[in-house]
Amino acid sequence: MADNISSSAAAPPVIDTTSIPTTTSSASSSLWDRASRWASDNKATVYTIAGVTVVVGAGAIYYMSSSQPKISEEAAAERKKLRKDKKKAKKEAEKGTTPEKKAEEGMVFNNLFGSYTG
């Protein structure tokens, strides 16, 4: 039975190495050399890729610049007021007077004169 298995086994395939190119210059050439060679062989493809890249880039820039929301004058004034109030609160915090302290002082002042309704 062992003879039967060994005789039915196929011989390993023989690979003809003469059809494989063995150029040593491509192994030692740099990536830049190979890319330059490819670009010179495929100029139409290179120009197409470059053109598409320029058009898509310009379209993206146009879209991004035109799609930003426009701020109305009222909203801009409100933002400015908020920034101003924030600066004012920061200065008061540095001095030690906070809006709460001012409110307490106002209540005390108003209580002295009888105008506090709280």
Domain ranges of the chain: 31-67, 76-113
Q: What confidence score (pLDDT) does residue 42 get?
A: 96
**Average pLDDT of the segment spanning 84-112:** 71
Q: What confidence score (pLDDT) does residue 39 get?
A: 94
pTM, entire model: 0.37
Mean pLDDT, the chain, rounded, equals 77
**DSSP assignments along 18-84, one per residue:** GGS---HHHHHS-HHHHHHHHHHH-HHHHHHHHHHHHHHHHHHHHHHHHSSPPPPHHHHHHHHHHHH
Label residue 32 by pLDDT band (50, 70, 90): very high
For 2, the 3-state DSSP assignment is helix
Token readout for 21 is 């190119």
pLDDT higher at 11 or 83: 83
Q: What confidence score (pLDDT) does residue 10 get?
A: 72
